Amino acid sequence: MQQLCSFSLEELKAWMEANGEKSFRAGQLFEWVYVKRASSFDAMTNLSVPLREKLRTHFSYPSIKQLRVLESEDKETLKFLWELPDQKRVESVLILSGDRRTVCVSSQVGCPARCAFCASGREGLMRNLSAAEIVEQVVHINLHLAPLGERVSHIVFMGMGEPLENYEAVVKSIQLLHAPEGLNISQRRITVSTVGVVEQIHRLAKEELKVNLVLSLHAPNQHIRKKIIPYARKYPIEEVLLAMDAYFEETKRDITFEYTLLAGINDYRTHAEELAMLLKDKQCTVNLIPYNPVDGLNLRRPEKEKIEEFRAILEERNINTTWRYTKGKDIAAACGQLALQRVPPQ
């Protein structure tokens, strides 16, 4: 059985015609899923009962199931736990900030990157998500927002997984989420984060997309980066930065470098100075992320004064910086805290 939310409108039109249905039915189906926020085929009342039965026979919708929603104490972050068709589980996060409704989606079960400070990759990669399993995280959260008269406005591929190691499904999901007949989310409101998969960064630059690209840098030099990010052993920092430069030149989208501050590892004054030199003359922003605690990891967040000093050094050298305010830490929904959830034993 095929997953409905992996199909574009044109692909659904082709399916309708191949199965003896009028092609305009595809537009109605697309509208039910993405605009009218139908939760099942039964809700699609302007489709005939025989057609709905035919769709139910050929397509799964929904293909993921909501198991749990946790809300942070400040009510600005919600963490969703989903069960996939094979009973594996992933998490995604809804962040409420002003008028923004940002969904942080997962693209893999687990993560191959195994960054030292992140919970998502502690057990490695289980499998890639399909385009539908990515898209449905947004579709179902959009349904969650419906009673409030709100909708998802921004999407960040910063949940579980390395998005560029699930390249085809991620690109297909971006196209589906952007589709004007559907959620119609501007590509400029979609952000993809990567640890630096060089060949896929170059590939993404040629896709004629206008999504934002964020590099998980986390170190001012190759020596420290290899200690924090195992992928750095395959992709030297110089090659990664050249790929990011190429992405900027091709898309004209500003680049963001994320830098998780780890006490005693990458937060010294000399590290800030080295980072400023590394990024000199680049049109970019450095997003400073104080480390969010993960059970079992012997790492610490720097003191506030240390973070302020680090940021001041960058800004003195004309490096644009932001300091990410930690949201959802009390429900383990902050950056680096999404973890593999297993099915409890029977």
pLDDT per residue over 166-221, tens digit each? 999 999 999 999 999 999 999 999 999 999 999 999 999 999 899 999 999 999 99
In which residue ranges of the chain is pLDDT below 50? 331, 333-334, 336-337, 343-346
Which tokens sit at 331?
A: 């429900």
Distance CA 197, CA 199 (A): 6
Q: Which of 195, 126, 121, 133 is nearest to 164 (CA)?
A: 195
pTM score > 0.95 for this model?
no
**Residue 81 DSSP one-character state:** E
Q: Which amino acid is at 112?
A: P
CATH number of 2-60: 1.10.150.530
pLDDT per residue over 40-55, tens digit each? 999 999 999 999 999 9
Distance CA 266, CA 262 (A): 6
Tell me the CATH class for 65-331.
alpha beta
- Write down the pLDDT at residue 343: 47
Active site residues: 91, 335
List the chain domain ranges: 2-60, 65-331
